[in-house]
Structure 1
Amino acid sequence: MMPLATPFAALHLAGAPLLLPNAWDHASALALARQGFAAVGTTSLGVAAAAGLPDGAAATREPTIRLARQLGGGGFLLSVDAEDGFGQDPDEVAGLARELADAGAAGINIEDGLGPVGPHAAKIAAVKAAVPGLFVNARTDTYWLGDGGHAETCRRLDAYVQAGADGVFVPGLSDPRRIADLVTTFDVPLNILYSPLGPTFPQLGDLGVRRVSLGSLLYRRALGAALDTALDIRAGRTPRGGAPDYAEVQALSAQRGDA
């Protein structure tokens, strides 16, 4: 498969991986872009939780599209976490991909949730046929939901690459030896989910990983910071940490794309 030649694909470099922070709303995405991140992803957990909906249950198709429309013109490259494509019909998933691309998304992340390999590969093929320029990051949940079988991981990733995936994503994998093995096994970029207990960002780059995602970590830490602040104030303590001021947050709205 010929490498995808787009500005977003070009950020997936060996030795200098893409660090992809994941936002959950307009303000979080723009704040990250202002810190110099050339690309920002979305987090399905953050989008779902912010809307009071469950993650991974195909309940957030419309909020996800709406957020993509807000962020697509934000002056940064956008990759959208679309769970399993919010459906099982490949044509419907391809339709979603068209909507996201029309909104300005440069990439899409689609997870198999450990469902059958064939139907997930069919979704990937349908998306690539419908929107060839959209970077498809094919995620397998062998380590996230399964038992971490390396042979099964390779079997699934191979099927997804054969279907046209531009990159592969294995959240939950932190073993350096197995990461290095996947890097040498597949020609497409390997995406690893950062874990505070796993290899550092520089170490992942040294292993050959070309994309490191933060997933829901920023959203969960933001919730934690909010709780810490409220509890500190209730206890009579001065809140710890920093925060942007009112004017800085207000200024983010001036950069809002089409709603």
Structure 2
Amino acid sequence: MTEFADLHGGPLPLLLPNAWDVASALAFVAAGYPAIGTTSLGVAASHGVPDGGRATRGANLALARDLARLPVPVSVDCEDGYADDPGGVAALVSELGTLGVAGVNLEDSAAGRLVDPSVLADKVAAVKEAAPEVFVNARVDTYWFHQDETVEATLARATAYVAAGANGIFVPGLAEPDAILAITAALSVPVNLLPVPGRSLADLAALGVRRVSTGSLPYRAALAVAVEAAAAVRDGSTLPASVPYHDLQADLTAYADGA
């Protein structure tokens, strides 16, 4: 965990691109990113199921096995841990740690609703006891689902997770500068956000943010560009930028040969 944790201490927040398969992860590694995350939406959508609902436990484990071979730390989005029982969540994260996964995200919501903060706190405590080497990024969904959407409620949840052993706090949907600053100033662990429109990494660093995840944005952007590519062929307009076939084939061949 030390190497991955150290990436949160640079002059700018760690920019963590989120992959949904081997090819997207290889592309991010080739672009020079020092660590890779996964996106639960991207994994779910690529398997034809909605995000959440614990539908992708097996798919995420399989992807983690593949991505753990990459030369950079990997953090896996585990939704709510795919279980109510803290022991079951701890067993999953222990397995991921054995594979070489450096970090996980665990969220405090289920079926689009916040759960009692003790639920995630108990899971975090169990995970840290079973797999202390794994960086646990505890996700607070107050702003994401617009429930208890205040600094005070968010900090109450976040401090409970930090007390349970969380190594970082993720607040997706948080975007207002004063709220960001209040939350980062009150917490002793790195705070992670999704991209904030109009705010650079330097802007977010000034607000105390230590990590920015792309989330499902690259996956959704890839879908949009795929449709644009088809339209460009139809209309005879300029084709969008793409990774050359032979470059991707070479990367996949090198990856396969390293198995």
> What TM-score, normalized by structure 2, do the two folds share?
0.94
With over 3 angstroms needed to count, the CA separation of the structure-2 counterparts of 1:212 and 1:256, relative to structure 1, is farther
Q: 1:78 to 1:256 in 2, by over 3 A?
A: farther
**Deviation digits for residues 36-66 of structure 1, max 9, x if unmatched?**
1110000000000001111111000000000
User: 2: distance between equivalents of 1:32 and 1:120?
Assistant: 30
Instruction: Note the 1:208-223 alignment, pairs <5 A.
Output: 208-223=208-223
Of the candidates 8, 20, 36, which is equivalent to residue 24 of structure 1? 20
Measured in 1, the distance between the counterparts of 2:198 and 2:171 equals 13
Unaligned runs of 5+ in 2: none
Return the offset for 1:14.
Answer: 5.7
**Given the alignment, which residue of 79, 83, 99 partners 1:83?**
79
Query: Partner residue of 1:120?
Result: 120
Q: Distance in 1 between matches of 2:182 and 2:6?
A: 23
Aligned amino acid, residue 205 of structure 1: A
Structure 1 residue ranges (4+ consecutive) displaced by more than 6 angstroms after TM superposition: none
Which shifted more, 245-254 or 56-65?
245-254
SS of corresponding position for 1:133: coil
Matches within 5 A, 1:89-108: 89-108=85-104
Measure the CA separation in 1 of the matches of 2:13 and 2:208. 8
Q: How far is the alpha carbon of 1:250 from its aligned partner?
A: 1.0
Aligned CA-pair RMSD? 1.5
Question: Which residue number corresponds to residue 157 of structure 1?
Answer: 158
Residue by residue over 1:189-231, the C-alpha shift from the partner in whole angstroms, topping out at 9 and shown as x without a partner, is 0001113x25222211121111011000000001110001101
Give distance in 1, aligned partners of 2:130 and 2:44: 26
- Per the alignment, residue 225 of structure 2 pairs with 225
1:27 is paired with a residue whose SS is helix
Q: Please say if residues 12 and 201 of structure 2, whose CA atoms lie closer than 8 Å, have aligned partners that are also in contact.
A: no
User: Are 2:160 and 1:129 aligned?
Assistant: no
CA–CA separation in structure 2 for the residues paired with 1:83 and 1:198:
28
TM-score by length of 1: 0.94
Distance 2:20 2:164 in 1: 29
- Structure 1 contact 40–76 (Cα < 8 Å) conserved: yes
- Specify the alignment match of 1:58 in structure 2: 54
Report the 3-state secondary structure (helix = DSSP H, G, I; strand = E; otherwise coil) of the residue aligned with 1:7. helix
One-letter amino acid of the counterpart of residue 101, structure 1? G
133-142 or 205-214, which moves further after superposition? 205-214
Alpha-carbon distance between aligned partners in 2 of 1:163 and 1:256, rounded to the nearest angstrom: 40
Per-residue CA distance 1:2-41 (angstroms, 9 max, x = gap)? xxx6100000016321000000000100110111111000
The SS at the match of 1:212 is strand
Aligned partner letter, 2:165? G
Q: Is the 8 A contact 1:174 1:198 kept in 2?
A: no
Inter-partner Cα distance in structure 2 for 1:27 and 1:257? 15
| C-alpha spacing 1:35/1:238, structure 2 compared with 1 (3 Å) | same
> Is the 8 Å Cα contact of residues 90 and 123 (structure 1) preserved in structure 2?
yes
Matching of residues 25-44 of structure 1 within 5 Å? 25-44=21-40
How many residues were matched structurally? 253
**Structure 1 spans left out of the alignment, 5+ residues:** none
Structure 1 residues 93, 256: CA separation in 2 closer, same or farther (over 3 Å shift)? farther
- For residues 75-106 of structure 1, what are the alpha-carbon distances to aligned partners after superposition, in whole Å with 9 as ceiling and x for unaligned? 11100000010111100000110111112110
RCO greater where, 1 or 2, for CA within 8 Å and sep 6 or more?
Answer: 1
* Alpha-carbon distance in structure 1 between the residues aligned to 2:38 and 2:257: 16
